[in-house]
Amino acid sequence: MSAIGTRTTTDPVVPAVLDGAPVSRSTIGCIVPACDDEGSIAAVLDSLLAQTLVPDVIHVVVSNTSDATVRAASEFAGPHEVVTELGEEFTEVFVHDIGKNRDRRAGALNYGYTLVEGHDYLLAVDGDAIADTTAVAGLVSEAMAAPRIAGVAAAGGGMLAIFSTRALRNVMTRHDRSTPWAADSADSEPLLALQVERAGYVTRISSLVREVHISIRQQSGSKT
């Protein structure tokens, strides 16, 4: 697993956005909350490993599932060496079956947060959301545009969003919580966005990453 911290490279991640300037390479921990995603999780992980900016670690958090999501995701478990515009990069995929989870997606995200809180950014990707190859680089470049930006989400589709872990920690402190997403709220995601803004940060919809392609099935309601 890549060391936690920041490294610098002279190669641009997204040349059209960064104009060839030196890029500060922040660390990214990716969380994939998954439930009944046997038919899509392989495509989701393929898309993450094909990014121009690959997350430093990918944690698939499976809960409340009635299909073979764990087995399908486990085909990707372990270290991966990926060649990108930055050169050869290393990431590792972990699969966690946490069983019954009454807090559904919020519970899976909170479980994942504890695994990546030492990284600069938390990337959240639904178990049926497929990202274009430059999506992660685009989200990171927008998130780094100003210190007050706490989160950037792709427009449309399922969840594909990046959050500053520093901002999440500040929200947790302000609300005396041990996790970012409120487990006792049915609207944990909009509530977190509101609390982030009340803490002095801003969130935004990406102007670079406009689509998330939902594979295999469309969401018919809240993921469990």
pLDDT of residue 220: 40
Is position 136 within any domain?
Answer: yes
Is the pLDDT reported for residue 13 higher than 70?
no
35: domain CATH number is 3.90.550.10
With bands split at pLDDT 50, 70 and 90, how would you rate the model's confidence at 155?
Answer: confident
Is position 132 within any domain?
Answer: yes
What is the pLDDT of the chain when averaged over all its residues?
84
Is position 12 within any domain?
Answer: no
Is position 111 within any domain?
Answer: yes
Give the Cα separation of 16 and 107 in Å (integer): 37
Is the pLDDT reported for residue 10 higher than 50?
no
Is position 194 within any domain?
Answer: yes
Supply the pTM of this predicted model.
0.83
For 28-78, how does the pLDDT look when each residue is reduced to its tens digit (9 = 90+)?
Answer: 999 999 999 999 999 999 999 999 999 999 999 999 999 999 999 999 999
Who wins on pLDDT, 221 or 146?
A: 146
Q: Which domain holds residue 92?
A: 27-214
Of 74-78, 133-137, 150-154, 208-212, the range with the lowest mean pLDDT is: 208-212
Count of domains in the chain?
1
Is position 221 within any domain?
Answer: no
Strand residues in 99-219 grouped as ranges (E): 121-125, 129-130, 149-153, 160-164, 202-205, 213-214
Give the Cα separation of 209 and 45 in Å (integer): 18
User: What are 81's two structure tokens?
Assistant: 């060496």
Is the pLDDT reported for residue 4 higher than 50?
no
Q: Which one, of 198, 200, 190, lies nearest residue 161 by Cα?
A: 190
Is position 33 within any domain?
Answer: yes
Is position 139 within any domain?
Answer: yes
